[in-house]
Chains A and B, each alone.
Chain A
Amino acid sequence: MPVEQLAVFLENKSGRLAEITKVIADSGVNIRAMSVADTADYGILRLIVDQVATARAALKENGFTVSAADVLAVEVPDRVGGLARILKIIEEAGLNVEYMYAFVNKSGDSAVMIFRFEQMEAAIAALQKAGCHLLSGDEVCGM
């Protein structure tokens, strides 16, 4: 059920993000979602793409440091309180969200949020038990 996410190390200098997106574009890969966590000195770019292996190889070839991690793509009903309900489930299950960010595209009538948990298995169990829809890698690529 987890979706594979790529993370790229970025020094805080101008043009780096543009270079990364160009490398990905040149390899024919489509970016589905992204977020940047940054400090004064460096940033961590997280990406959901439609062809993980291709993007990873292209980035490495261009000298970027890349790591892959499993994340969950959770469907969030697109209405008031949709996200609050999901977060309540997570809280009640005693799970820690390492970070989260939103998808650009919608899945039907729902928004999609990416979650990174420390305890992946427990998170899957809790969310599924509460009736949340977790998107598969194929579903994410097909969006």
Chain B
Amino acid sequence: MYWQKDFECMPEADIRALQLNRLQKTLERVATHVPFYRNAFTAGKIDVKAVKSLDDIRRFPFTCKQDLRNNYPYGLFAVPLREVVRVHSSSGTTGIATVVGYTRNDIVTWSDLVARLLCGAGVTADDMVQIAFGYGLFTGGFGLHYGCERLGASVIPISSGNTRRQIQIMQDFKTTALVCTPSYALKLADVMMDMGINPNGLSLRVGLFGGEPWSEAMRQELNQRLGIRATDNYGLSEVMGPGVAWECEECNGQHINEDHFLVELLHPETLQPVAPGEIGELVITTLTREAFPVIRYRSRDLARLLPEPCSCGRTFRRITRLLGRSDDMLIIKGVNVFPTQIESTLFAVDGTEPHYRLIVDRENNEDKLTVMVEVNESIFSDSMKTQKALIDTIKERLASDLGVGVTVKLVEEKTLERFDGKASVVIDNRKF
């Protein structure tokens, strides 16, 4: 079942021609309206009018998350603010968030792209969709919400949290499709068991999961325990939100919405294209975004391209599920967490030296982040009250800076190994 068959099943040559045409327009637009890109192109002596093939994209500089932060909040917008009808902001910040904007057309496009993913998963106007993604600055909730309405499905905008109520509503409202992170879906299954509710007695039939990496084994478990078909979808707020790539009914790789995004798979260090089928970082250029076009955005997400055609009939190329990150970002309960954020928070607590270790576990299908901090003379007290107060302060600051709850453990001085690379301060015990 297709939402926009003319695009989704477009002959390959036509897709490339459309991409090139849209790329040229996007490059010209950002060169005209966004000083950041104009300056970068000038500095690189790149003439946007000289772009004659899709490969020419490789002459352009990359855009990184830091560029978005440097231009906080509206520096990279390509339209005047009066044309912007919505802003979203990335989850997980290091003091400065990244802000993205949408024009009315952007919202329509986004809704259509999400409607495609819903259709691909088999959702129709007859479905009752429970959206358990957070609503707010995070793109997940609203992205799926608008897509469902575009498709004509009924939305239950319950947002995240309150698991028992989620299940009650799922039962009472006869929810047929569930939108959330895969780990939250497993938690729902656990709590159903606690509540003595048999998932087979519910109306649930399809799951649309995203926001964090997950495995095929986890899919099988979700299918079996919830009696659903679990599908994967991919998106990131910097280029739009959910709806960048998504699984069709074959559940074998995610089709990229290639008419709206130009995706390169590059080696994260050499930044050269990887051989077909090799793991690479997804580098994304938006082709139709009006308010917030992005050129060669380094997503840091790793995946492989699946070059062979899909039996669903769609011609958009597919990528595998996400296979990891090319930086040290962690995704905890769907929230992006960088170890460097923890370091700067620890620095801000008087006397704390940033010797720490992060331990990530998944207990009862819920992510748990433990921060081990080395004690030293200036933060050690003979008074238990003072010592506990210090731990609570660290805990509260981390929770508020990271947007996710943490457990803080004090450990003896100089017992945490010293590493040069920050990535190794993380011990992730989760299995994806």
| A interface residues, Cβ below 8 angstroms from B | 5, 7, 9-11, 37, 39, 41-42, 44, 46, 63-67, 69, 98-99, 116
Total contacting residues, chain B, CB less than 8 A: 18
Smallest beta-carbon distance B104→chain A, Å: 53
**Alpha-carbon separation in the docked complex, A136 to B383 (Å):** 22
**Alpha-carbon separation in the docked complex, A37 to B384 (Å):** 7
In the bound complex, residues from chain A placing their C-beta under 8 Å from that of B377 are: 65-67
In the bound complex, residues from chain A placing their C-beta under 8 Å from that of B382 are: 5, 7, 44, 46, 67, 69, 116
CB < 8 Å neighbour of B412 from A7, A46, A63, A98: A63
In the bound complex, residues from chain A placing their C-beta under 8 Å from that of B384 are: 37, 39, 44, 99
Is B375 a contact partner of A99 (Cβ separation < 8 A)?
Answer: no
**Alpha-carbon separation in the docked complex, A42 to B413 (Å):** 13
Is B410 a contact partner of A7 (Cβ separation < 8 A)?
Answer: no
**Alpha-carbon separation in the docked complex, A98 to B383 (Å):** 7
Smallest beta-carbon distance A49→chain B, Å: 14
Is B413 a contact partner of A65 (Cβ separation < 8 A)?
Answer: yes
Identify 16 residue pairs between A and B in the complex whose beta-carbon atoms are under 8 Å apart, listed by A's number.
A9-B380, A9-B412, A11-B415, A39-B388, A42-B375, A42-B409, A44-B387, A63-B414, A65-B375, A65-B376, A65-B377, A66-B380, A67-B377, A67-B382, A99-B384, A116-B382
Q: Is B431 an interface residue (CB 8 A)?
A: no
Q: Is B411 an interface residue (CB 8 A)?
A: yes
Which 6 pairs show the lowest CB-CB distances between chains A and B? Answer: A7-B382, A37-B384, A69-B382, A9-B375, A65-B413, A65-B380
Most interface-central of B376, B410, B412 (chain A CB within 10 A): B412
Smallest beta-carbon distance B84→chain A, Å: 48
Is A99 a contact partner of B409 (Cβ separation < 8 A)?
Answer: no
Q: Is B82 an interface residue (CB 8 A)?
A: no
Is A9 a contact partner of B410 (Cβ separation < 8 A)?
Answer: yes
**Alpha-carbon separation in the docked complex, A44 to B410 (Å):** 12
In the bound complex, residues from chain A placing their C-beta under 8 Å from that of B375 are: 9, 42, 65
Q: Is B45 an interface residue (CB 8 A)?
A: no
In the bound complex, residues from chain B placing their C-beta under 8 Å from that of A46 are: 382
In the bound complex, residues from chain A placing their C-beta under 8 Å from that of B410 are: 9, 11, 41-42
In the bound complex, residues from chain B placing their C-beta under 8 Å from that of A39 are: 384, 388
